Structure 1
Amino acid sequence: MSRKQYRYKGAEVSCFVKYFLFAFNILFWLLGAAFLAIGLWAWAEKGVLSNLSAITDLGGFDPVWLFIVVGGVMFVLGFAGCIGALRENTFLLKFFSVFLGLIFFLELTAGILAFVFKDWIKDQLNLFINNNVKAYRDDIDLQNLIDFAQEYWSCCGAHGPNDWNMNIYFNCTDTNPSRERCGVPFSCCVKDPAEDIINTQCGYDVRRKEKELEWQRFIYTKGCVGQFEKWLQDNLIIVAGIFVGIALLQIFGICLAQNLVSDVKAVKASW
């Protein structure tokens, strides 16, 4: 046996690491592709592709962007990790591990800053919700997101039902011709368990009642900011566990990629 063959046998790429990283990333890649496809399809359905000026409209949050950005990042990372592992390409593997490490660092930084600047984050959350309350009827995806949040957390508006005065369709001004004037969206309504069909007009004229105590019979009177904070406190262990789990997956992926890079370099050095 030649010296070259003997040295090659002493350094080899771990099949377990290679194919485990490949399988891990192909799922990640396919999931990212699905997110990206959904986001682009929804974007095209809205006609944004034919109206490029809408891209610069930052007045309200468009949930479609969440699918596009998250899906795009997952797709690129999954592609790099999948092809890098399969082809033993050190450039793609290094790109995968560095990019994943950067995301982990940004998440860690964001978590620390969120803890340090809690009051500022709360103010930004208030501003975010208020801006999207104003844009409620402007985007169907945004509308569905707000309705889901208000139903899930049993809340109405950022701090209460009167926040809907900021919306041109729901405000109580005499000049407002809308039938929804002085009302709230149906997602603010207290649900009757006996009703199988959602009454989308249940919030009409609710805020015309003089006493706010009367509102409680028909709609949620607590704001979504307070309800979200309460939910976060009640589910702190679960939320923390999810973030720790995601962080461990990222660290595990980085370690696998670096281990595979080391194996490939060792094999190349033995040639």
Structure 2
Amino acid sequence: MEGDCLSCIKYLMFIFNFLIFLGGSFLLGVGVWVLVDPMGFREMVAANPLLFTGVYIILAMGAMLFLLGFLGCCGAIRENKSLLLFFFMLILVIFLAELAAAILAFVFREHLTREKFTRDLKRHYQGHNNTDVFTSTWNALMTTFDCCGVNSPDDFEESLFRLLSPDKMVPGVCCQGNGHPGDAVDDLSRDECQRGSMELRYNKGCYSAVVDYFETYIYMAGALAIVVLTIELFAMVFAMCLFRGIDQ
């Protein structure tokens, strides 16, 4: 009876670790996908150190889960006590690190508010200065999502951009069609747009545009995090049960 129970635990642990292996593969894929710069995402996160660091955290966690899933599968099938203990300790460290990361994300959530992004835009955005990382990042963001400012084009009032370009209400990337190959606005339309023509510019703020775009993925990421934590808990329980059951 004990042998059947031990065998059941062994195969359950193998299944859970295989799921961890798949989860690690998924996180690695997401991290690499962002770093290879689809749709200018690398420039978008570069302006915020928390977001930029988060990409590398995802890569590191994905690599560790990938490795641990592989080790857990090997330890379960071979019934190796040393490998099982090593696996348990590492996955415990990862589990605690994930909880700490979730707590830090909650604590520093105020750094991702509309108000902070608006203040930064007003203070640092320069217009067409491609040598400035902050400016080029925002240009890539507004071009990608067809948006203007954080909340609306009004965000550029009393800003550094207006101080540098007092004759322009909005930067050129806020003009419809600008930045899209084969659909660039002509100089006259761009001039009218930058002087305040609401019909020729994008009037939606980038904060809403980005949130709307990523809303589905945010819920998916949250659900995946809960699933991964649950799987890790079960994997640790099965690892200890198998460790204690071997040679008994």
1:61-111 deviation per Cα after TM superposition (whole angstroms, max 9, x unaligned): 477655433212211232123313322422223322442343145325634
Q: Among residues 154, 178, 182, which one is paired with 1:197 in the alignment?
A: 182
| 8 Å Cα contact 1:81/1:93 also seen in 2 | no
SS at match of 1:137: coil
Over 3 Å counting, the alpha-carbon distance change for 1:167 and 1:24 in structure 2 is farther
Mapped to 2, the partners of 1:27 and 1:142 lie a distance apart of 38
RMSD value, Cα: 4.6
| 8 Å Cα contact 1:35/1:68 also seen in 2 | no
If the length of structure 2 is used for normalisation, what is the TM-score?
A: 0.63
**CA positional deviation for 1:140:** 8.0
After superposition, where does 1:1-271 map in structure 2 within 5 Å?
Answer: 11-12=6-7, 14-34=9-29, 60-61=47-48, 66-88=54-76, 89-104=84-99, 106-107=101-102, 110-111=105-106, 114=109, 121-129=113-121, 133-134=125-126, 137-138=130-131, 143=136, 146-148=139-141, 151-152=144-145, 154-161=146-153, 163=156, 166-167=160-161, 171-173=164-166, 184-186=171-173, 188-191=174-177, 197-199=182-184, 204-206=190-192, 209=195, 212=196, 215-225=197-207, 227-228=208-209, 231=212, 238=216, 241-268=219-246, 270-271=247-248
Mapped to 1, the partners of 2:132 and 2:74 lie a distance apart of 42
Mapped to 2, the partners of 1:231 and 1:101 lie a distance apart of 31
Over 3 Å counting, the alpha-carbon distance change for 1:166 and 1:263 in structure 2 is same
What runs of 5+ residues in structure 1 fail to find an aligned partner?
1-5, 43-58, 175-180
Mapped to 2, the partners of 1:245 and 1:198 lie a distance apart of 39
1:135-180 deviation per Cα after TM superposition (whole angstroms, max 9, x unaligned): 972378984675345543x421224436395359x94158xxxxxx
Percent identical? 10
Give the number of the structure whose residues are more often helix, by fraction: 2
What runs of 5+ residues in structure 2 fail to find an aligned partner?
38-45, 77-83
| 8 Å Cα contact 2:20/2:66 also seen in 1 | yes
